[in-house]
């Protein structure tokens, strides 16, 4: 399944590249076998591009019951404390996830809650593998309130290749654990922000899967 928010990329790419592949294959079949190489290269490139927008169905395992799920696929690039964070209006722990171009880029809701605010911050498009990028790149910060009254946040950060953040949630929306909430196109970073007294269940370097991996547990 392909994510609809990427249709304005993968549909034009398919319409443009498919005739090129067909023309190369036609020439190769017609007696010029050298055209099989560009046909194969174009086919692999198109399939790789389309695969970026894949949107596989997900369901949380039973052992993740009661836990906040990962908002994205990728590797945990940092886990750190912050004395004050707008998302929780107080001390926080931030779990930062790096998404490579090979990862699924659909973002998902970590925990049931109501969207309190959404803040878009224009910025730069540095390589997200550099720590400085998280502070200066374009981003969208969501602050949500869980049923127990606790606040948490999700921050979507663009990168050097990613130049568009799609987020479907707006203030007042009810967010459901594991539901799709948007897409960051190409390499990027997603952060989960929880209150400082929350229990974090992962550490730097861990591989996580959106809507599947348990990332944290809020205080009772």
The pLDDT tens digits of the residues spanning 14-44 come to 999 999 999 999 999 988 999 999 999 999 9
- Same structural domain, 47 and 78: no
Quote the distance between the C-alpha of residue 82 and its chain's center: 22
Q: Quick one: pLDDT at residue 21?
A: 93
- Same structural domain, 21 and 125: no
What total of structural domains would you count in the chain?
Answer: 2
More confident residue, 123 or 169: 169
Out of 52-56, 116-120, 161-165, least confident range: 161-165
- Give yes or no for residue 160 having a pLDDT over 70: no
For residue 32, give its domain range. Answer: 4-51
- Give yes or no for residue 163 having a pLDDT over 70: no
- Same structural domain, 182 and 148: yes
Give Cα separations from 165 to 65, 104, 121, 148, 162 (angstroms).
Answer: 29, 14, 11, 29, 8
- Same structural domain, 138 and 107: yes
- Same structural domain, 39 and 99: no
- Same structural domain, 136 and 159: yes
Q: Is residue 57 part of a domain?
A: no
Q: Is residue 56 part of a domain?
A: no
Distance CA 132, CA 211 (A): 27
- Same structural domain, 71 and 46: no
pLDDT grade, residue 3 (50/70/90)?
confident
Q: Quick one: pLDDT at residue 17?
A: 93
pLDDT grade, residue 10 (50/70/90)?
confident
- Same structural domain, 37 and 125: no
Q: Is there a contact between 9 and 53 (Cβ–Cβ < 8 Å)?
A: yes
User: 181: Cβ–Cβ under 8 A, 6 or more apart, which residues?
Assistant: 71, 107, 108, 109, 142, 154, 167, 168, 169, 175
More confident residue, 9 or 199: 199
DSSP string, 124-155: B---TTSTTHHHHB-EEEEEEE-TTS-EEEEE
- Same structural domain, 34 and 133: no
Give the residue numbers annotated as catalytic, written as ranges: 188
- Same structural domain, 117 and 145: yes
User: 83: Cβ–Cβ under 8 A, 6 or more apart, which residues?
Assistant: 91
The DSSP call for residue 196 is: T
Express as a percent the part of the chain with pLDDT over 90.
60
The pLDDT tens digits of the residues spanning 61-102 come to 888 888 999 999 999 999 999 999 999 999 999 999 998 888
- Give yes or no for residue 144 having a pLDDT over 90: yes
155: tokens are 């921050």
- Same structural domain, 38 and 137: no
């Amino acid at each position: 399944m392909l994510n609809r928010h990427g249709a304005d990329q993968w549909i034009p790419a398919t319409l443009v590249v498919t005739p090129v592949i067909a023309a190369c294959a036609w020439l190769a079949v017609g007696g010029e076998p050298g055209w099989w190489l560009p046909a194969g290269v174009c086919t692999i490139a198109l399939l790789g591009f389309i695969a970026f927008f894949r949107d596989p169905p997900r369901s949380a395992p039973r052992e993740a019951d009661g836990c906040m799920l990962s908002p994205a696929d990728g590797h945990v690039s940092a886990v750190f404390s912050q004395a004050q964070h707008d998302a929780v209006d107080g001390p926080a722990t931030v779990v930062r996830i790096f998404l490579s171009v090979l990862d699924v880029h659909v973002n998902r809701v970590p925990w049931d809650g109501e969207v309190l605010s959404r803040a878009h911050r224009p910025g730069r498009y540095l390589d997200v593998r550099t720590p400085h990028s998280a502070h200066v790149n374009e981003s969208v910060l969501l602050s949500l309130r869980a049923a127990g009254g606790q606040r948490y946040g999700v921050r979507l950060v663009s990168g050097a290749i990613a130049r568009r953040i799609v987020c479907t949630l707006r203030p007042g929306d009810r967010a459901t654990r594991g539901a799709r909430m948007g897409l960051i196109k190409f390499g990027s970073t997603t952060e989960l922000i929880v209150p400082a007294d929350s229990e974090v269940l992962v550490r730097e370097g861990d591989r996580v899967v959106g809507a599947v991996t348990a990332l944290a547990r809020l205080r009772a």
